[in-house]
């Protein structure tokens, strides 16, 4: 008889938080869990995947092994789930970013923890489980972890729950080393490894709806591997989004190549509009980049910007919120995420604030980038939290949306994006609850393909519309 494996992504804890919006958590399936499922022999294991953001993690009947993905913000929920399943007789393995940065804290809550990536540790965990000898601590080697053992089991996700089905990772780490980034605690600073291109090609062949969201830390950072990827994507009909840092704007031709390969939107870490903040946090490239010129170059290439901003750095005073929103509006940034600076254990930012006695507490559920968990230098924690809320409000006024949408190619697309993404939350709740996400995916797919490249610079044929077969959702 097959054993039963339950893989859980615990939900974010602060569900009453003003920043909690169901659509934000229904965008992607938990790729880590689908990846682990892909490494688990299906003839030996029945595998259940549960994402608490969209469904209950409760399952009927006996479960042999439970694997829990543990972010800092859901660590306490992960520990509670671990206790619950151990009491029901299952063995529990905790993995992910939080057990990696704080293994001593996590270990007492589980039968085993996985430090680092699962790719190089999970087969050993399964083998030890079968022998009845789980070891406690497993260390996934980061070198060689980019190569997948087998493709993620996307067939195990709830197909009606997510807007984007095909999330992928093509590289690990990032050549930069910003003080506040989670990456240094997980991958070490400056570590970078790309997956073998033949394997990526094999995975891309499984993309039926022509829509991919790459979750690499910094997809465009390493040009040889990014160009190898562009070669596979160009002409495939796939449109995609990814994360990139501002250095790419120094080479407009490279941005054109990305667009020609199907890139339509980039998540860009502007972080702070104050260069001194960026210098103090080892993000020199931002300190020496003209942000408005960078926006112009993204737009010239036809790439929409999802800007990421962080408040609470040492040079930030109470005026930082308005100044940042002013820039985001002037730069015609399409969508933005605003974060409260959150010191993650294992990063230099955490070490510094802890050494200076500025951490307010270690209640990890508040380490969600929406709450102030440290004492800022030039304002109070309350000012930081209320300024963060205000920034969202001001960025999302209709006046701001109109200004950011007009004057660039694809005005209707930009308006649609803003309204759909930030202004109709009750509609998204209804879509998710009624299982209508496949329709939303189709509309999103069409909208993303609408032209955003200025005609004058157009060296490009728009990728053909590839919509999955009727049975595919």
Q: Contact positions toward ligand B12, by CB under 6 A? A: 9-12, 24-25, 27-28, 30-32, 35-36, 53, 67-69, 71-74, 93, 95-98, 114, 117-119, 122, 169, 181-182, 215, 217, 344, 368-370
Q: How far is the CB of 286 from ligand SF4 (least distance, A)?
A: 9
The yes or no reply on residue 172 touching ligand SF4 (CB under 6 A) is no
Q: Does 178 bind ligand SF4 (CB under 6 A)?
A: yes
Residue among 182 and 270 whose Cβ is closer to ligand B12 = 182
Q: Which does 437 bind (CB under 5 to 8 A by kind): ligand B12, ligand SF4, none?
A: none
What's the closest the beta carbon of residue 341 comes to ligand B12, in angstroms?
11
In the structure encoding, which two tokens stand for residue 335, read together? 């969508």
Site map 233..272 versus ligand SF4, x via CB under 6 A: ------------x-----------------------x---
Print the binding letters for residues 337-366 with ligand SF4: x by CB under 6 A, - otherwise. Answer: ------------------------------
List the structure tokens of 136: 């406690």
Interface of this chain with ligand SF4, residues 279 to 338, rule: CB under 6 A: 283
**For the residues of 21-40, what is the DSSP string, one character each?**
-HHHHSSS--HHHHHHHHTS
Closer Cβ to ligand B12, 173 or 302, answer by number: 173
User: Exposure of 420 by Cβ count < 10 A (0-12 exposed, 13-18 middle, 19+ buried)?
Assistant: middle
**How far apart are the C-alpha atoms of 212 and 205, rounded to whole Å?**
12
CB of 33 to ligand B12, least distance (A): 7
177 binds ligand SF4 (CB under 6 A): yes
Residue of 126, 163, 174, 336 that binds ligand SF4 (CB under 6 A):
174
Nearest CA to 81 out of 102, 103, 100, 59 is that of 59
Q: With binding defined as CB under 6 A, does residue 106 bind ligand SF4? A: no
Output the smallest distance, CB 146 to ligand B12, in A. Answer: 9
Are 62 and 81 in contact, with CB atoms under 8 Å apart?
no
**9 forms part of the interface with ligand SF4 (CB under 6 A):** no
Token output for 290: 């003209």
Q: Least distance from C-beta 438 to ligand B12, angstroms?
A: 19
What token pair was written down for 106?
């996590």
CB of 471 to ligand B12, least distance (A): 25
Q: How many other C-beta atoms can be found within 10 angstroms of the C-beta atom of residue 426?
A: 8
Q: Which is nearer to ligand B12, 73 or 405 (CB)?
A: 73
Q: Which stretch of DSSP H or E encloses residue 77?
A: helix 75-87
Determine the Cα–Cα distance for residues 304 and 300; give it in Å rounded to an integer: 10
- Which DSSP state fits 176? -
Give the sheet arrangement for strand 112-115, strand by strand: 45-51, 3-9, 65-69, 91-95, 112-115, 137-139
Give the residue carrying structure tokens 């990846």. Answer: 35
User: Cβ closer to ligand SF4: 49 or 266?
Assistant: 266
Binds 410, which of ligand B12, ligand SF4, none (CB < 5 to 8 A, cut-off by type)? none
State the Cα torsion 435-10-216-413 to the nearest 10°: 30
* Token output for 361: 């507490």
Binding site for ligand SF4 (CB under 6 A): 174, 176-178, 181, 183, 217-218, 245, 269, 283
């Amino acid at each position: 008889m097959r054993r039963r494996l339950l893989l859980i992504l615990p939900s974010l804890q602060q569900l009453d938080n003003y920043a909690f919006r169901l659509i934000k958590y229904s965008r992607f399936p938990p790729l880590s869990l689908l990846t682990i499922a892909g490494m688990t022999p299906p003839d030996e294991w029945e595998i259940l995947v549960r994402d608490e953001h969209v469904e209950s993690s409760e399952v009927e009947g006996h479960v042999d092994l439970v694997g829990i993905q543990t972010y800092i913000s859901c660590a306490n929920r992960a520990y509670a789930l671990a206790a619950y399943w151990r009491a029901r007789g299952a063995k529990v393995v905790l993995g992910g970013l939080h057990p990696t940065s704080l293994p001593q804290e996590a270990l007492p809550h589980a039968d085993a923890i996985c430090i680092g990536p699962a790719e190089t540790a999970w087969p050993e965990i399964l083998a030890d489980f079968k022998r009845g000898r789980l070891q406690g601590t497993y260390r996934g080697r980061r070198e060689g972890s980019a190569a997948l053992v087998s493709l993620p089991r996307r067939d195990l996700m709830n197909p009606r729950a997510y807007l984007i089905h095909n999330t992928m990772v093509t590289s690990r780490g990032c050549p930069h080393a910003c003080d506040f980034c989670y990456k240094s605690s997980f991958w070490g600073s400056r570590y970078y490894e790309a997956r073998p291109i033949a394997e990526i090609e094999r995975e891309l062949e499984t993309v039926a709806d022509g829509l991919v969201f790459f979750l690499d830390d910094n997809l465009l950072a390493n040009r040889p591997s990014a160009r190898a990827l562009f070669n596979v994507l160009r002409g495939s009909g796939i449109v995609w989004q990814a994360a990139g840092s501002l250095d790419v704007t120094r080479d407009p031709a490279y941005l054109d190549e990305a667009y020609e390969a199907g890139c339509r939107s980039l998540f860009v870490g502007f972080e702070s509009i104050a260069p001194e903040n960026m210098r103090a946090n080892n993000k020199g490239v931002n300190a020496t980049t003209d942000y408005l010129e960078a926006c112009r170059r993204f737009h010239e290439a036809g790439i929409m910007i999802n800007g990421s901003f962080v408040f609470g750095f040492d040079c930030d005073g109470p005026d930082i919120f308005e100044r940042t929103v002013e820039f985001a509006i002037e730069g015609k940034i399409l969508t933005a995420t605003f974060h409260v600076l959150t010191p993650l254990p294992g990063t230099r930012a955490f070490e510094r604030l802890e050494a200076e006695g500025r951490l307010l507490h270690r209640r990890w559920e508040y380490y969600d980038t929406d709450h102030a968990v440290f004492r800022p230098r030039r304002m109070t924690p309350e000012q930081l939290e209320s300024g963060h809320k205000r920034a969202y409000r001001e960025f999302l006024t209709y006046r701001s949306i109109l200004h950011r949408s007009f004057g660039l190619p694809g005005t209707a697309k930009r308006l649609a994006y803003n309204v759909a993404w930030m202004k109709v939350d009750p509609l998204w709740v209804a879509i998710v609850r009624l299982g209508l996400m496949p329709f939303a995916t189709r509309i999103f797919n069409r909208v993303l393909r609408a032209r955003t490249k200025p005609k004058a610079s157009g060296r490009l044929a728009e990728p053909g519309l590839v919509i999955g077969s009727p049975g595919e959702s």
